[in-house]
Homo-oligomer: A and B are copies of this chain.
């Protein structure tokens, strides 16, 4: 293997200096057309490929931004990522991904790795486990743009893009009430995450508004997964005062709930079931799953837009914005009583 070509090789070939080559390649500074063309031609001839590391080391900008999500397997996050990439496409910024797999430890590691890789900014949605946010605070301390989306944290004074989760919870509950359900349970995570708390508040508020009682035994705090959904449903259906509808913390959990209900012959919409996130599978299961759409694409493009704005400012945090999106009810068979 021959050594990689550098701008020095190009310079030597053309009997000019590296600065000229650098300028020609970057395209901006004053350069004669002939020189530029010659440089570009020689670069191609020598199969030159720039070393971004060196450039980044010198200029302090990598043009890479790190995105940390709990998991790329959720359609919701995958869609956000896609829209972030889309929104950043023309700016020259590239995205690299890091999954926390819902573990704080991984998340801390992710922040560290990305920071050490000198990314120009980070966008993140926190893991369920995350309570202490000092690892994120470190990003702010370095004065690098940090944008939180969906799963955010109040202690961090950074821009956020979220859903109106109170309204989301309210909407889901009101929809079930409108469909004639009167005894509505809620299966959610035990972790103190703002968005999940907000949804729960929305749920309670909707019940109150409709003069329905808030029953402690109808609120199940556990995990969010297919398994947890099954578990929550079976726990609820063994109650003396069985619910006639169940709101699940996300669509995966809702799927578990439905599985369980089918097994015990209480197939929705006999018992109403609604989830959150409008996952890819949700329209295709039987019965198809009603859910709250969280506008992942809008979320992603808002993040991108926000980042591009922040990167312009000398102090990225001089003007901290919060974008709040409106949830959208998607009615399907699982709640059509």
Contact = CB atoms under 8 A, between A and B. Distances in A.
Interface residues of A, number: 43
So how many copies of this chain end up in the complex?
2
Contacts of A115: 49
Interface in A128-142: 141-142
Contacts of A259: 284
Interface string A36-57: 0000000000000111111011
B143 A1 contact: yes
Contacts of A141: 1
A189 interface: no
A72 interface: yes
A286 interface: yes
A221 to B, nearest CB: 24
Nearest to A56: B53
B4 A142 contact: yes
A156 interface: no
A1 B81 CA distance: 30
A90 interface: no
Contacts of A255: 284
Interface of A: 1, 4, 49-54, 56-57, 62, 64, 71-73, 75, 78-79, 81-82, 85, 94, 96-97, 99, 101, 112-113, 115-118, 141-143, 226, 255, 259, 280-281, 284-286
